[in-house]
Structure 1
Amino acid sequence: MILKNLVLGFTFGISMSFISWIVGMALNAILMKTKYYKKLSNLNFIRSQKLNRKIGIQYFKWIVKNTFFRFFNQKLKLHNRNTDLNEIRKEMTLSEISHLIGFTFVALVAIYKGVTTGILFAFAMMIPNVLLNFYPSLLQQENKRRIDSVLNKKSAMTS
């Protein structure tokens, strides 16, 4: 029974995480029209590079760059040195907030399933949710910090 709940919860979590990407994009499109979006575009959950390394963001980055995930959001690629970094940052913000909305959506479903089905089922749901929604959001935050650093250096050089 325990193994069955784990497998079913994990499978359901994968399905819900993929569905949550669509929910995240739809709600993000609505959220973009509010005055709160500017505040959301500068979220920074983990500022420490050392902590990012400890939780394995570099491994997650490698997976995204070297598997089928690299084909998902083609707007986040640097094509050459003349690529507009502000536009890339904007696309990263869209992706980050969409993933956060998706993470919250699946977390709410997991809470509901935890009450109705069982805590083990809900826990198993959260594993793919963290991997498919929360880690991508953390990766976008790290990449935005790197872009901000480059943009700050560019603006300092032109001033």
Structure 2
Amino acid sequence: MMAHYITFSISITFISWIVGMILGEILKRTAFFKNLSNFNFFKSKRLNQRIGMNVFRWIVKNTFFKFFNAKIELKNKFTTADLEELRKEMTYAEINHLIGFCMVTVFAFIELVRGNYLFALIFIIVNILMNLYPSLLQQENKRRIDRLLKICR
């Protein structure tokens, strides 16, 4: 039964990525999207380290996950325009993951209301690992790019 919960949670989370990309495309055409581009859950680098972002970053850089969004890559030689384009792509990825996070959270809440506590817990864990952490990683990387842009300007 638990294997079913895990595979279903992963499947729904993958679907949430697709939904996030579709809704993200619609959202980026609105004025509200500009407000979201500077949104941060945690501004503290120390807090990011405490929740394991360094480990998560290593996993993304050194496993098959690095192939998921090929647009988010910085070359050795770059211009300010390259940094701005990279930041924009990171914002898109971040917002898409946040949309996916919200979607899967609804599923988890429904299971919680139904009394399926284990299923809801698995939904939340998978959702955090596959939607929230990627979004937090993009936020952290955007802050690093902002520091580089400040130096370049």
How does the TM-score come out when normalised to structure 1? 0.91
Where 1:24 maps in the other structure, the secondary structure is helix
- Mapped to 1, the partners of 2:120 and 2:76 lie a distance apart of 43
Q: CA deviation at 1:113?
A: 2.1
The aligned amino acid for 1:105 is M
- Mapped to 1, the partners of 2:23 and 2:141 lie a distance apart of 23
- Mapped to 2, the partners of 1:12 and 1:129 lie a distance apart of 12
- Mapped to 2, the partners of 1:82 and 1:142 lie a distance apart of 19
Contact kept, 8 Å, 1:10 with 1:127, in 2: the verdict is: no
User: 1:133 aligned to 2:131?
Assistant: yes
Contact kept, 8 Å, 1:28 with 1:94, in 2: the verdict is: yes
The aligned amino acid for 1:58 is N
The gaps in structure 1 that reach 5 residues or longer are none
The aligned amino acid for 1:9 is Y
Aligned sequence identity (%): 55
The gaps in structure 2 that reach 5 residues or longer are none
1:11 is matched with which residue? Answer: 7
Higher relative contact order, structure no. (Cα contacts within 8 Å, ≥ 6 residues apart): 1
The aligned amino acid for 1:29 is E
- Greater Cα radius of gyration, structure 1 or 2: 1
- Mapped to 2, the partners of 1:51 and 1:106 lie a distance apart of 24
| 4+ aligned runs moved over 3 Å, structure 1 | none
Contact kept, 8 Å, 1:45 with 1:138, in 2: the verdict is: yes
- Mapped to 2, the partners of 1:60 and 1:35 lie a distance apart of 32
Q: CA deviation at 1:154?
A: 1.1
Please point out which of 35, 59, 66 is paired with 1:63: 59
User: What value does the CA root-mean-square deviation take over the aligned residues?
Assistant: 1.2
Where 2:71 maps in the other structure, the secondary structure is helix
User: 1:142 aligned to 2:125?
Assistant: no
Q: CA deviation at 1:117?
A: 5.5
Aligned length: 151
Contact kept, 8 Å, 1:85 with 1:147, in 2: the verdict is: yes
Q: Deviations over 1:100-148 (max 9, x none)?
A: 0000000001111222351221111111110000000000000000000
Where 2:43 maps in the other structure, the secondary structure is coil
